[in-house]
Amino acid sequence: MKFAEMTVAQFLDALASPDPTPGGGTAAAVAGAMGTSLLVMVTGLAKSNTNTDDEKAALAGAKLALQPLVATLTALADADAASFDEVMAAYRRPKATDEEKAARSAAIQQALQGATTVPLQTLRVCASAMPHAGTVAACGNRSAVSDVGVAIGLLEAAAAGAEANVRTNLGSVKDPQFTSAAADETGRLMTNVSREAAAARARL
């Protein structure tokens, strides 16, 4: 069952269960989806009388950009759990012969790269949502100012959570090219997230 189809109570129970999935990567993606959804809400709350046509167009543009990211993040919540399940399945492969050992190692490495790529994608999506928070803060209704603040905080927590999952899994990836490319991109994205979050807060 997809997480989006679970009730909120079932999803929380699944997080709380001692099964390793769903874990932090899934929770980060859902938190990002919640933050993005709050921003979409505020794109629908223009300052009405005082909004210029440019401001209305900016809000409409932010809404168009943000809406599909909610579905992307909920899909990443599922992908994160699936990718971690694959890592565990790879570790459970037989290792009696040298051939089996080699195949198991290759499977583990492939699965770990997958389990790195998914939270990296979550981080990319949160980073692409954050610049719109500034637009929403500047052009949205002043009564929703705390909603935008909560959205920024949730997207930051989601990005940091995704980063933690990227770095944990990268620690076991042996391909140096993959590792350095992913680490570099993660660093750049986190810098962007912090900068855009600060810029958005300055417009609240």
Yes or no: say if 43 and 66 are a contact pair by the CB < 8 Å rule: yes
Residue 186 binding a second copy, by CB under 8 A? no
Give the Cα separation of 132 and 200 in Å (integer).
Answer: 8
Yes or no: say if 128 and 194 are a contact pair by the CB < 8 Å rule: no
Nearer to a second copy by C-beta: 114 or 153? 153
Give the Cα separation of 196 and 130 in Å (integer).
Answer: 6
Coil, strand or helix at 95: coil
For a second copy, the binding residues in 26-65 under the rule CB under 8 A are 27-28, 30-31, 33-35, 37-38, 40-41, 44-45
Using the rule CB under 8 A, give the single segment among 93-101, 122-130, 137-145, 178-186 that binds a second copy: 137-145
- The interface mask with a second copy, positions 66-105, x = CB under 8 A, is -x--x---x-------------------------------
CA atoms within a 13 Å half-sphere pointing along the CA-CB vector of 107: 18
Nearer to a second copy by C-beta: 23 or 103? 23
Cα separation values, 129 from 19, 20, 105, 191, Å: 30, 28, 37, 14
Nearer to a second copy by C-beta: 16 or 96? 16
| Size of the chain, expressed as the number of residues it contains | 204
Where do contacts with a second copy occur on this chain (CB under 8 A)? 3-9, 11-13, 15-20, 23-25, 27-28, 30-31, 33-35, 37-38, 40-41, 44-45, 67, 70, 74, 143-151, 153-154, 156-157, 160-161, 164-165, 167-168
